[in-house]
Amino acid sequence: MSSPEGFRDLTPLITPRSVAVVGASASAGKLGHTILKNILDAGFAGPVVPVNPRADAILGRPCAKSLDDLPDPVDLAVVIIPAVAVPEAIAACGRRGIPAAVVITGGFAESGEEGARLQAALTEAAARHGVRLLGPNCQGINNPHHGLCASWPLLTARGALAVVSQSGTVGAALMDWAAEDGLGVSCFAALGNRAVVDEADLIAALGRDPHTRCIALYLEGIKDPAKFAAAARGCPVPLVALKPGRTPRGRAAAESHTKSLAGDDAIYAGFFRQHGVHRADDVEALYDAARALAYLPRPRGRRLLIVTSSGGCGVLAMDAASVYGIETPPPPPAMAEGLRAFLPPHCIIGNPLDLTGDATAAWYRRVAELAAPHYDAIAPIFGDPIPGAADAVEAPPTPCVICLGGGDVERAERRRLHARGIPVFPTPERGMRALAALLPPTGVAGSRFTVPG
């Protein structure tokens, strides 16, 4: 059940072969109905058994009266019954040999002394029977590659970005944006009260997940710093974290929310830095950094060429690049000559390279080819309707694509870029901030990145 490093084997939680929905309800609008419906609608391939003592069948699926009454072995129990009944349900899972459970129900440690007692009983039951329990008081788990949406809202877009969140809403927002963008996620796990399974277990498990190329974390505190550090060290994919509580009032709110110490922010900042976790400053920054890390190749160095149809957006990008410590050397003479050979004289050859409103997709493509030997990254800013823009983007150099102001043409090209797995940022500033997440901190000794000049 645990790896030698002490991480729980979460296979039955993340990729269960069969699911029981304990507290499945026939009443639309009830969470026990929504969850069952989402599991079915997401297309889960294995057996799905509603557990309900008073119904014969729900949504066309025959019910089991109780966990003890399940006809076949089950990998994962999704639990949506009143809090008071949950510890016994987990014990029943253990007796029945169900190795994993997600407890959606709230009313545990987050809600006073009685809840804390229930959570202690729950934890004890899980420990006694070795049940790997996610939650309680959580928004469930969604693995679109496995057709498992034991969560809400129903989201099924498959991608490369995993989300582990102490806030269901922050996780759902990231998933929803990724779905809208056509990028998708590899897995979403809501931590809830972390009675058993914690972020370190999930980092260890998702780091080995074949679909995951980055893990985005929303954490109000770290449950077990030593375990987290070991998970982060061993994690083969990059981690990016949003940790609130940076102000005294925010910290007090975090402690009230999770009923645990949020901790001094400077400690967390140093801890994340030490363990190579990129820190995001807000929810959008978390999403942008995570999709950059999941979908873009790491630049070899820090040299960026900004190429734009909009002079103003070039200026904004330059300001932001400067703030984030991104280098923007001018094109070297040989490249400048190559640019002059095909660009009209009113284009401004420099960095930013201003192609003006006459820019075509072919120009952008040619610029990227000429830039490849000299730059580690390129930020094409499509600031006008530029048909074919999506075809003008290829790595290397690492593309940090920014699209705005292009109306319907932009929308179409943006969809095409996302369909190719290339994230698109809506402003120069968000693009530069995301690119910065791909770069190593400056001056870090022993970095695996080349930091030129």
Please report, as residue ranges, which positions from 194 to 253 form the binding site for a copy of itself (by CB under 8 A). 218, 220, 242, 244-250, 252-253
Counting contacts by CB under 8 A, is residue 453 touching a copy of itself?
Answer: no
Burial class (CB in 10 A: 0-12, 13-18, 19+), 231: buried
Nearer to a copy of itself, 91 or 313 (CB): 313
Interface characters, 285-314, with a copy of itself (x: CB under 8 A): ------------------------xxxxxx
- First CA to last CA across the chain, in angstroms? 49
Task: Kindly write down the DSSP assignment for every residue of 73-117, as one continuous string.
Answer: --SEEEE-S-GGGHHHHHHHHHHHT--EEEE----SGGG-HHHHH
Compute the least distance from the CB of residue 261 to a copy of itself, in Å: 14
The number of CA neighbours under 13 Å toward the Cβ of 214 is: 27
Nearer to a copy of itself, 198 or 220 (CB): 220
Nearer to a copy of itself, 252 or 334 (CB): 252
Residue 156 CB neighbours (<10 A): 18
Nearer to a copy of itself, 53 or 248 (CB): 248
Counting contacts by CB under 8 A, is residue 142 touching a copy of itself?
Answer: no
Beta bridge mates, 217: 164, 241
Beta bridge mates, 279: 241
Q: What are phi and psi of 379, to 5 degrees?
A: -115, 90
The CA-based angle 174-176-179, given to 5 degrees, is 110
The number of CA neighbours under 13 Å toward the Cβ of 44 is: 27
Instruction: Specify the residue for token string 């929310």.
Output: 257
Compute the least distance from the CB of residue 5 to a copy of itself, in Å: 28
Compute the least distance from the CB of residue 362 to a copy of itself, in Å: 14
| Contacts of a copy of itself in 157-196 (CB under 8 A) | 165-173, 176
Compute the least distance from the CB of residue 299 to a copy of itself, in Å: 19
Q: Would you give the distance in Å from CA 344 to the centre of its chain?
A: 43
Compute the least distance from the CB of residue 168 to a copy of itself, in Å: 7
Nearer to a copy of itself, 238 or 245 (CB): 245
Nearer to a copy of itself, 12 or 171 (CB): 171
Counting contacts by CB under 8 A, is residue 113 touching a copy of itself?
Answer: no
Nearer to a copy of itself, 92 or 292 (CB): 292
Compute the least distance from the CB of residue 24 to a copy of itself, in Å: 18
Compute the least distance from the CB of residue 452 to a copy of itself, in Å: 17
Counting contacts by CB under 8 A, is residue 267 touching a copy of itself?
Answer: no
Residue 112 CB neighbours (<10 A): 11
| Contacts of a copy of itself in 329-388 (CB under 8 A) | 345-346, 348, 350, 352, 354, 356-357, 383-385
Please report which residue ranges of 152-282 form alpha helices under DSSP H. Answer: 168-180, 199-207, 225-234, 248-258, 265-274
Interface characters, 406-425, with a copy of itself (x: CB under 8 A): xxxxx---------------
| Contacts of a copy of itself in 53-112 (CB under 8 A) | 106-107, 110-112
Q: Name the 3-class secondary structure at 298.
A: coil
Please report which residue ranges of 235-341 form alpha helices under DSSP H. Answer: 248-258, 265-274, 283-295, 311-323, 333-340
Compute the least distance from the CB of residue 116 to a copy of itself, in Å: 13
